[in-house]
Chain A
Amino acid sequence: MSGAEPSPVVKRHAFLERLQEAQRQLLEPGLKSFTAAPGEYLAREGEPAHAFYLIQSGHVAIGTHLGERGAVPIQTVGPGDVVGWSWVVPPYRWQFDARAVDRVEGLFFEAAWLRELCEKNTTLGYQVLKQLIASISSRLAATRLQKLDVYG
């Protein structure tokens, strides 16, 4: 995975756009861009959750390893979505793998930097968590329906 300082024009993502301008300005110094090649891992189960990813293009498979079945994708997320909330929850280790399905481009925050900022500025932290919970909520609802096997 390669990372760099993003130019202003590429600092757009639905997650950021739902925040107020003043809050975005506080977050901007920590915003970095990344690209990942197909098959590359953004996160590996059990390893330190070092980042919070905002996906701008491409798709990321969230999954796990199931012995002989190998890597099993559970859910795929794409542009406009986020990857990773393990950075909020001690002991800050990824609970699942996140692997690029195709070429993925996006933005990320270093987990430690973002945690520290949110701890210092709890108003900002609350807004960041609200946005994160919205993502978690819709992802959880989709997972529940997926588990119900409603397609028959």
Chain B
Amino acid sequence: MDNELRSAAPVVRESAPDRSPWTPAVVPIVDRRQETGDVFTVTLAAPDGYRFRPGQFNMVTVFGVGECALSLAGASDEPTLRHTVRAVGSVTRALARLRPGDRVGLRGPYGSSWPLDQAAGHDLLLIAGGVGLPPLRPVMYHVLQRPDVFGRVTVLYGVRSPADILYRDELQQWAKQPGLKVWVIVAQADVAWRGPVGFVTTLFPALDLNPSTTWTFMCGPEAMMRFAARLLEERGVPDERIFLSLERNMQCAVGFCGHCQFGPEFVCMDGPVFSYWRIRHFFTIREA
């Protein structure tokens, strides 16, 4: 057990701006982009004084429909806020129908963030599955703006099919950066696909991994994260340096309602980014 590392790697919890937690700011949509068949990115104007850290999320209201938690998918220093969303529920489907100029409610930012300061000077391994890539994109922007701060950076991105790949152009740009490797793997290939086929863990044997210097950030389906974390531990990566972002039914986002409770943790406040060491015992408990 590496107590020093555990005490040195707290997840940073950020508080929302000085506004009633229940009162959303009203902001316009300034851009909208269709990423794949059912995934889109909305860009919102940021309220005055708004700042976030990579890994955090906002609560976005579609007036007359409802509110949902959306992870931040843009750079933390840009003047607008980007959310990449899959249209799967009533709120996200309604959000998908809105266009630039329409207004939404915004509360946030909420939650913990990726421990980028602690990971500085080390190798980074980012593992994303499906729409788990957007919460990791702010990490990539952070890294790209600071090329000398991190060691080797590897991105493993698993998706269902080539048609589901998000941010294709950016992935290609990232892959051209020195010291940065990007591998995209699809579970179902079409005839045109020339890249790897399989689940994202299929890429692990080829990973040139130094367990003593690697910090891993993961976001994707929990089954993916469970298996990936287990395999990383087998490769010697300490659970204190494996971080994952959880998704739960977040409603109040400020720890009042309890809908997102996960063991003793509230995902909205203590997460969504957790160290694997902190939650591993709850991670394998089956939900009733």
Contacting pair B196 A59 (CB below 8 A): yes
Contacting pair B159 A151 (CB below 8 A): yes
Instruction: State whether the Cβ of A143 lies closer than 8 Å to any Cβ in chain B.
Output: yes
Q: What residues on B are CB-neighbors of A63 within 8 Å? A: 197
Q: What residues on B are CB-neighbors of A143 within 8 Å? A: 198-199
Q: Which of B4-12, B221-229, B271-279 contacts A (4 or more CB under 8 A)?
A: B221-229
Q: Which of A45-53, A70-78, A120-128 contacts B (4 or more CB under 8 A)?
A: A70-78
Contacting pair B131 A146 (CB below 8 A): no
Contacts known (A72-B189, A79-B205); A142 close to B198, Cβ less than 8 A: yes
A146 and B206 CA atoms in complex are apart in Å by: 18
Contacting pair B202 A70 (CB below 8 A): no
Q: What residues on B are CB-neighbors of A141 within 8 Å? A: 201, 227
What are 6 A-B pairs with beta-carbon distances under 8 A? A73-B189, A76-B196, A142-B202, A146-B198, A148-B223, A152-B160
Contacting pair A78 B221 (CB below 8 A): no
**Residues B222-280 near A (CB distance < 8 A):** 223-224, 227, 231
Seed contacts A151-B158, A151-B220; 7 additional CB < 8 Å A-B pairs: A61-B197, A74-B198, A75-B198, A139-B202, A142-B198, A148-B223, A150-B224
Contacting pair B197 A142 (CB below 8 A): no
Instruction: State whether the Cβ of B194 lies closer than 8 Å to any Cβ in chain A.
Output: yes
Q: What residues on B are CB-neighbors of A79 within 8 Å? A: 205-206
**Smallest Cβ-Cβ distance to B187: which chain A residue:** A146
Contacting pair A75 B202 (CB below 8 A): yes
Q: What residues on B are CB-neighbors of A145 within 8 Å? A: 199, 201, 223-224, 227
Contacting pair A150 B223 (CB below 8 A): yes
| In the complex, per-residue mask of B181-222: 1 if CB is within 8 Å of any chain A CB, else 0 | 000010101010111111101111110000000000000110
**Smallest Cβ-Cβ distance to A38: which chain B residue:** B194
**Smallest Cβ-Cβ distance to A144: which chain B residue:** B199
Instruction: State whether the Cβ of B54 lies closer than 8 Å to any Cβ in chain A.
Output: no
Contacting pair B201 A78 (CB below 8 A): no
Nearest-CB distance from B230 to chain A (Å)? 9
- Which residue of A69, A75, A145 has the most chain B CB atoms within 10 A of its CB atom? A145
Give the interface size bracket for B toward A: 20 to 34
**Residues B114-170 near A (CB distance < 8 A):** 129-131, 158-160, 164
**Residues A53-90 near B (CB distance < 8 A):** 59, 61, 63, 69-70, 72-81
Q: What residues on B are CB-neighbors of A135 within 8 Å? A: 205
A101 and B201 CA atoms in complex are apart in Å by: 19
- Which residue of A70, A76, A79, A81 has the most chain B CB atoms within 10 A of its CB atom? A76
Contacts known (A138-B231, A145-B224); A151 close to B198, Cβ less than 8 A: no
**Residues A101-152 near B (CB distance < 8 A):** 101, 135, 138-139, 141-143, 145-146, 148-152
- Which residue of A14, A61, A78, A79 has the most chain B CB atoms within 10 A of its CB atom? A78
A13 and B127 CA atoms in complex are apart in Å by: 25
Contacting pair A76 B202 (CB below 8 A): yes
Q: What residues on B are CB-neighbors of A146 within 8 Å? A: 187, 198-199
Q: What residues on A are CB-neighbors of B231 within 8 Å? A: 138
A148 and B191 CA atoms in complex are apart in Å by: 22
Residue in contact with B205 in the complex, picked from A70, A81, A148, A149, CB distance below 8 Å = A81
**Smallest Cβ-Cβ distance to A14: which chain B residue:** B205
A63 and B193 CA atoms in complex are apart in Å by: 13
Contacts known (A150-B129, A152-B160, A152-B221); A76 close to B227, Cβ less than 8 A: no
Q: What residues on A are CB-neighbors of B164 within 8 Å? A: 151
Contacting pair A151 B160 (CB below 8 A): yes
Nearest-CB distance from A149 to chain B (Å)? 6
Residue in contact with B185 in the complex, picked from A70, A76, A138, CB distance below 8 Å = A76
A80 and B187 CA atoms in complex are apart in Å by: 20
Q: What residues on B are CB-neighbors of A59 within 8 Å? A: 196
Q: What residues on A are CB-neighbors of B199 within 8 Å? A: 142-143, 145-146
